[in-house]
């Protein structure tokens, strides 16, 4: 168990059954008065923020979270299945939990899955992923309209802006942190 004295930014605790990350913390204590521990916490499942004030003597259950490297297998409806290549254990995550990460999930991609007990609550992706362009309009040579980008769809179904010279079937690198085109894979 953690006591209030253990509270600090980055601590992970369980509140009402959910894992929370302490994102802001301050200790306040008026002269001769009782100490107050003011925290702002983020629910690690749904991302909602919460303000809570604690007093001396209160305690918290640590949220034991584990990160494991897993491989993305397949999608069925809104359910995405991942597998630990060592133990062959499989976990399923909802599309909503994955958020934008679903845009980059290609079969066999290795990701870090965050587990809260048995439950997968999120994934972290490599900063860059390589995906094939499946659909984009041909760039007309001599186009002087001044557009320096055009929409393109990649094999996961994700649509992003790419430079005009990118053609269908080409491999491009996407930065998963902002979802933007990064570079073209030559050859």
Partner 1 sequence: MLKIDVLRLRAKAIKAVRNFFWSRGFLEVETPLLIPANAPEEHINPIPTLSSWQLQTSPEICMKRLLCNGHKKIFQISHCWRSDERGSRHLSEFTMLEWYRADSDYQALMTDCEELLQYVVSTCFADCHCFNQNSKKITYTSPWKRICVQEAFLRFAQVEVSDCINKGLYEDILTSIIEPALAEFKAPVILMDYPVELAALARTKPENNRIAERFELYVGGLELANGFSELCDPLEQRRRFEEANKLRVNNGQVILPLPEPFLDLLATMPQSSGIALGIDRLIMLIAGVDTIDEVVAFTQEEL
Residues in contact with 25: Cβ distance below 8 Å, sequence separation at least 6, in sequence order: 7, 8, 9, 37, 38, 39, 40
Applying CB under 8 A, the span of 27-35, 110-118, 119-127, 172-180 interacting with partner 1 comes to 27-35
Applying CB under 8 A, the span of 20-28, 111-119, 149-157, 163-171 interacting with partner 1 comes to 20-28
- Nearer Cβ to partner 1 (31/187): 31
Would you count residue 28 as binding partner 1 (CB under 8 A)? yes
Least distance (Å) between residue 183 CB and partner 1: 40
Would you count residue 5 as binding partner 1 (CB under 8 A)? yes
Count other C-beta atoms under 10 Å from residue 45's C-beta.
16
| Range 47-66, binding partner 1 (CB under 8 A) | 53, 56-57
Least distance (Å) between residue 54 CB and partner 1: 12
Exactly one of 1, 10, 17, 33 binds partner 1 (CB under 8 A); that residue is 33
Contact in structure between 114 and 123 (CB atoms under 8 Å): yes
Closest CA to 12 of 63, 61, 49, 51: 63
Contact in structure between 4 and 37 (CB atoms under 8 Å): yes
- Nearer Cβ to partner 1 (7/44): 7
- How far, in Å, are 67, 71, 120 from residue 157 at the CA level? 27, 19, 24
Binding site for partner 1 (CB under 8 A): 5, 26-36, 53, 56-57
């Amino acid at each position: 168990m953690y006591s209030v004295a253990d509270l600090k930014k980055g601590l992970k605790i369980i509140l009402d059954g959910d894992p929370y990350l302490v994102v802001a913390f301050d200790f306040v204590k008026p002269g001769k008065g009782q100490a107050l521990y003011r925290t702002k916490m983020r629910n690690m499942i749904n991302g909602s923020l919460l303000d809570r004030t604690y007093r001396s003597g209160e305690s918290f259950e640590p949220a034991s979270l584990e990160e494991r490297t897993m491989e993305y297998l397949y999608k069925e409806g809104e359910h995405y299945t991942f597998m630990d290549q060592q133990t062959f254990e499989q976990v399923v995550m909802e599309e909503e939990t994955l958020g934008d990460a679903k845009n980059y999930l290609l079969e066999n991609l290795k990701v870090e899955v965050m587990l809260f007990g048995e439950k997968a609550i999120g994934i972290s992706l490599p900063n860059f992923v390589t995906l094939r362009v499946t659909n984009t309009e041909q760039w007309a040579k001599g186009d002087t309209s001044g557009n320096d980008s055009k929409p393109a769809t990649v094999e996961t179904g994700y649509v992003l802006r790419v430079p005009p010279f990118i053609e269908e079937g080409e491999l491009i690198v996407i930065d998963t942190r902002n979802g933007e085109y990064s570079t073209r894979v030559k050859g």
